[in-house]
Amino acid sequence: METVTPAHREALADILLPIADDAWIAGQRGSEWLGMAPDLEEDLALSSISQDALGHAQLLYDVLAELGNREADEQVYARPASGWRHCGLVQAPRQDWADFVARRYCYETFDDLRLHALAAAGHAPLQSALAKILQEKLYHVRHFDTWLQTLAWGGTQSRARLQEAMAGVFAELGDLFSWGEGASALTLWNLTALSSLRPLWESRVRDRLEQLGLEWPRVGAKESDGRLGEHGPEFADLLAEMTSVRTMEPAGEW
């Protein structure tokens, strides 16, 4: 019989918040492409993927709430910027399509590895949530991999722009692999495999870039650590927009 002590509960929040926050912010940024994607099919696809991502975040917030942490609505609408644990990779404002494809390919590949490793956690509600999330994740990983291939083989211009975008994204990877203050939490839950995902990610991405004849760019050093709540001024704008409707009528029923 599983026993969740208060220490385990707090530790699980340290482990799940970065993952859930990454999904929420990726969903929010993805939805900013509505009506702007390269074609109608992509508009539909990205809308679905963003809706999935917000759903995944909510389900993970729900797992935390069942253990006595704050409710999903509170997580999203009542946390100060410094309480968020997402990485810089998912937070970047919308630029061009090559940047978005490079960015999301890197994120989805990492998140897929991370979620599979997380499935070893001995907490039944989390395992059930992950089983469902991973069914849908498969589609997201495949979608951005297809786009990576499309741009790599599309023509001279798309290839050059993808390569340039990949270099820009790699320079910002820093805190993707960080666990901030959550490293001891991983030990408590026997999930230390989660702290050594970087070589797995590098090996998978390196193979793919090689197959597509793309260069492996330099990975940037960590300038600020989103896992410690350091998000830069652009997050203040994003958070203000995300919570603007709720702020108008904080006690309203939605």
Partner 1 sequence: MAVVTQAEVWEKLGTVPDPELPDLSIVDLGMVDHVAIENGMVHVELMPTFVGCPALHWIQDKVEKALAPFPSTVEFVYHTPWTADRISPQGRERLTAWGVAPPNRSGQPLACPLCGSDQTRRTSEFGPSLCRSIYYCDTCQQPFEAWKTL
Phi, psi of 166 (to 5 degrees): -60, -40
Residue whose structure tokens are 């197959």: 211
The least distance separating partner 1 from the CB of residue 52, rounded to whole angstroms, comes to 5
Alpha-carbon radius of gyration of the chain: 18
Return the DSSP state at 219.
P
Catalog residues that contact partner 1 under the rule CB under 8 A.
Answer: 41, 44-49, 51-56, 58-59, 124-125, 128-129, 131-133, 135-136, 139, 142-143
Q: 70-96: string of b/e by CB count within 10 Å (b at 16+)?
A: eebeebbbebeeeebbbbbbbbbeeee
- The residue among 23, 58, 30 whose CA lies nearest residue 45 is 30
**Least distance (Å) from partner 1 to the CB of residue 132?**
4
Report which of 254, 175, 190 is spatially closest to residue 221, judged by C-alpha positions. Answer: 175
Nearest Cα to Cα of residue 239 among 99, 78, 96, 107:
78
For the CB of residue 59, give the shortest distance to partner 1 in the complex, in Å: 5
SS3 call for 52:
helix
Give residues with Cβ within 8 angstroms of 113, minimum separation 6.
197, 200, 201, 204
Give the residue with the Cβ less far from partner 1, 40 or 221.
Answer: 40
Cβ 206 to partner 1 shortest distance, Å? 26
Shortest reach from residue 42's CB to partner 1, in Å: 8
Least distance (Å) from partner 1 to the CB of residue 121? 15
**Smallest separation, CB 54 to partner 1 (Å):** 6
SS3 of the chain: helix, strand, coil, percent, to 5: 70, 0, 30
